[in-house]
């Protein structure tokens, strides 16, 4: 482990240190070499769970204490990869996260499970004494999110949400050089979109559950669907039983980014229309077409997704656009462009940062998002800085809850056919008891839905 600490100290001397300094200030660099390695566990060892763990070990010394997954094959693969990345690593392997948490005293828990597990995983982890990094969207219903915020506060733990656009280097620059510099003027309209063909169009037959997968545990509190293939290998995103559709998956990133850029809290009203308009042959029950409007005083933030056809702008197929009286800002994970209203004004272009040479291991990691890796590294640094300095991280659980819940409420609006206003203090939809009842969905026995008042 000492050799790993030396490598991390070398990181401080490199140009990545200046990037971290720019994003979060010099104090964040102190986290690279703490007194002892962070004791870490990963719950959910699929694609993004492993990606988050590997970004963490690139910026801080860690001891990977344990790994947990209900798929024995996936768990074994993660174990092998961790041992290859960290000489001397010897993580304990688990199929039940509750046993993992009871067996170990952990500093950090990373949660990479499907959306329907996030709430119970996070709440149980903070109860066990760990700080948590949880993927977005944080929950599948609104009251789950309220309980997650309540648990983080009650147990005084830092919970960082994987909305790493807030740590994306070129978007940090955009926020400072365009938005905070006042180049947009008053912003009174925002558009957000995703035109990626993300909706699974298959109709697989029913199968026998393989012996390497604990399907009952994978399903957990969600409804139990007939088994028709490995749900955890991206198939689960095709179903509202486990998540919040493309709005919950992709809009949550862009809405969270816009809220961060403009300093927005809860929307005053949310409305949405959409459904399955084109791709009707598939089993998938998530919408292929949807528009959602998140209203703020003198500002509308409008989300649109289509999983068919072509994007309106190929350079910004998943993006946000801020329309100001003085100019327009286009932004995505890959680039950003500012276009002033004044023809004599200066256009500004920003490109994504890659660090392929700095982190050569990225180039051989299966399915890595190379454009997102620098952002996730900075997100991890911010997470650790918040822990060490007893403060809220840039993507605190409360902000993650607002962005997630807003997307969930937009889906409820689409389902009910009427606009909705959420009161986070009373935890109700104002003037709408029918919609209020849908803020918490039923859990499958024996799992018990978390209560914000009793976590």
Q: What is the CA radius of gyration of the chain?
A: 21
Closest CA to 241 of 406, 442, 394, 28: 442
Mean pLDDT of 267-285: 98
Inter-axis angle of helices 373-388 and 15-24, to 10 degrees? 60
Closest CA to 257 of 406, 386, 380: 406
Q: Please work out, in degrees rounded to the nearest 5, the angle formed at the alpha carbon of residue 50 by the alpha carbons of 49 and 55.
A: 105
Question: Among 15-19, 179-183, 190-194, which stretch is predicted with the lowest mean pLDDT?
Answer: 15-19
Predicted pLDDT of residue 9? 34
Predicted pLDDT of residue 2? 32
Give tens-digit pLDDT for 112-169.
999 999 999 999 999 999 999 999 999 999 999 999 999 999 999 999 999 999 999 9
pLDDT at 443 over 80: yes
Question: How many CA atoms lie within 13 Å of 95's alpha carbon, on the beta-carbon side?
Answer: 12
Q: What confidence category does residue 32 fall into, taking pLDDT thresholds of 50, 70 and 90?
A: low
Give tens-digit pLDDT for 196-227.
999 999 999 999 999 999 999 999 999 999 99
Q: What confidence category does residue 31 fall into, taking pLDDT thresholds of 50, 70 and 90?
A: very low
Measured distance CA(405)–CA(122) in Å, rounded: 16
**Residue 130: strand, helix, or coil:** coil
Give tens-digit pLDDT for 323-350.
999 999 999 999 999 999 999 999 999 9
Predicted pLDDT of residue 35? 77
Predicted pLDDT of residue 295? 98
Predicted model pTM? 0.93
353-384 residues labelled b (16+ CB within 10 A) or e (exposed): bebeebbeebeebeebeebbbbbbbbbbbbbb
Give tens-digit pLDDT for 365-376.
999 999 999 999
**Residue 247: strand, helix, or coil:** helix
Predicted pLDDT of residue 237? 97
Give tens-digit pLDDT for 89-112.
999 999 999 999 999 999 999 999
**Residue 346: strand, helix, or coil:** coil
pLDDT at 17 over 90: no
182: left (phi over 0), alpha (psi -120 to 50) or beta: left
Q: What confidence category does residue 33 fall into, taking pLDDT thresholds of 50, 70 and 90?
A: low
Mean pLDDT of 217-240: 96
Predicted pLDDT of residue 375? 98
**Residue 71: strand, helix, or coil:** strand
Measured distance CA(283)–CA(243) in Å, rounded: 15
Mean pLDDT of the residues in the chain: 93
Measured distance CA(167)–CA(346) in Å, rounded: 26
pLDDT at 4 over 60: no
pLDDT at 238 over 80: yes
Give the list of residues 6+ apart from residue 427 with CB closer than 8 angstroms, or none.
142, 143, 146, 439, 452
Predicted pLDDT of residue 5? 34
**How far does the chain reach from its first CA to its final CA, in angstroms?**
37
Alpha helices in 285-423 (DSSP H): 373-388, 397-416
102-128 residues labelled b (16+ CB within 10 A) or e (exposed): eebebbbbbbbbbbbbbbbbbbbbbeb
Give tens-digit pLDDT for 47-85.
999 999 999 999 999 999 999 999 999 999 999 999 999
CB 260 within 8 A of CB 176: no
Q: What confidence category does residue 8 fall into, taking pLDDT thresholds of 50, 70 and 90?
A: very low
Q: DSSP letter at 102?
A: H
Predicted pLDDT of residue 20? 42
Q: What confidence category does residue 34 fall into, taking pLDDT thresholds of 50, 70 and 90?
A: confident
Long-range contacts of 260-266 (CB under 8 A, 24+ apart): 260/165, 260/166, 260/175, 260/394, 260/399, 261/174, 261/175, 261/179, 261/320, 261/322, 261/331, 262/179, 262/187, 262/190, 262/299, 262/322, 264/296, 264/299, 264/301, 265/402, 266/402, 266/406, 266/422, 266/424
CB 392 within 8 A of CB 236: no
**Residue 320: strand, helix, or coil:** strand
Strand-pair category, 299-306 with 92-94: unpaired
3-class SS letters over 385-432: HHHHCCCCCCCEHHHHHHHHHHHHHHHHHHHHCCCECEECCCCEECCC
């Amino acid at each position: 482990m000492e050799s790993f600490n030396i490598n991390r100290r070398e990181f401080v001397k490199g140009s990545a240190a200046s990037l971290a300094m720019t994003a979060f200030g010099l104090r964040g660099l102190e986290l690279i070499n703490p007194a002892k390695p962070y004791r870490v566990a990963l719950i959910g060892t699929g694609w993004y769970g492993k990606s988050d763990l590997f970004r963490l070990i690139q910026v801080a010394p860690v001891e990977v204490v344990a790994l947990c997954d209900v798929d024995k094959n996936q768990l074994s693969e993660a174990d092998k990869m961790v041992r290859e990345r960290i000489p001397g690593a010897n993580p304990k392997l688990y199929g039940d996260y509750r046993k993992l948490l009871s067996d170990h005293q952990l500093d950090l828990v990373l949660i990479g499970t499907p959306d329907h597990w996030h709430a119970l995983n996070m709440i149980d982890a903070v109860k066990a004494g760990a700080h948590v990094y949880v993927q977005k969207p944080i929950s599948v219903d609104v009251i789950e999110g309220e309980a997650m915020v309540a648990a983080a506060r009650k147990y005084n733990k830092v919970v960082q949400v994987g909305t790493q656009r807030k740590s994306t280097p070129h978007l940090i620059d955009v926020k400072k050089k365009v938005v905070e510099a006042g180049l947009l003027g008053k912003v009174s309209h925002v558009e957000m979109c995703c035109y990626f063909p993300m909706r699974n169009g298959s109709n697989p037959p029913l199968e026998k559950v393989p012996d390497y997968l604990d399907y009952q545990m994978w399903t957990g509190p969600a409804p139990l669907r007939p088994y028709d293939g490995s749900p955890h290998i991206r198939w689960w995103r095709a179903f509202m039983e486990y998540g919040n559709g493309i709005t919950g998956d992709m809009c949550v990133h862009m809405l969270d980014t816009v809220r961060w850029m403009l300093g927005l809290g809860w929307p005053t009203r949310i409305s949405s229309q959409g459904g399955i308009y084109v791709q009707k042959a598939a089993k998938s029950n998530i919408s292929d077409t949807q528009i959602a409007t998140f209203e703020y005083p003198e500002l509308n933030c409008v989300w649109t997704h289509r999983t068919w056809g072509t994007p309106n702008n190929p350079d910004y197929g998943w993006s946000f656009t801020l329309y100001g009286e003085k100019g327009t800002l286009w932004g995505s994970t890959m680039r950003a462009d500012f276009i002033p209203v004044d023809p004599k004004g200066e256009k500004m272009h920003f490109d994504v940062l890659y660090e392929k040479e700095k982190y050569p291991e990225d180039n051989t990691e299966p399915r890595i998002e190379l454009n997102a890796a620098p952002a996730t590294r900075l997100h991890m640094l911010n997470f650790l800085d918040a822990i060490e300095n007893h403060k809220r991280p840039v993507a605190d659980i409360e902000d993650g809850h607002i962005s997630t819940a807003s997307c969930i409420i937009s889906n409820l609006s689409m389902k009910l056919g009427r606009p909705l206003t959420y009161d986070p203090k009373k935890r109700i939809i104002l003037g709408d008891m029918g919609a209020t009842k849908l803020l918490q969905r039923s859990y499958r026995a024996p799992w018990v839905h978390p209560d914000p008042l009793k976590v």
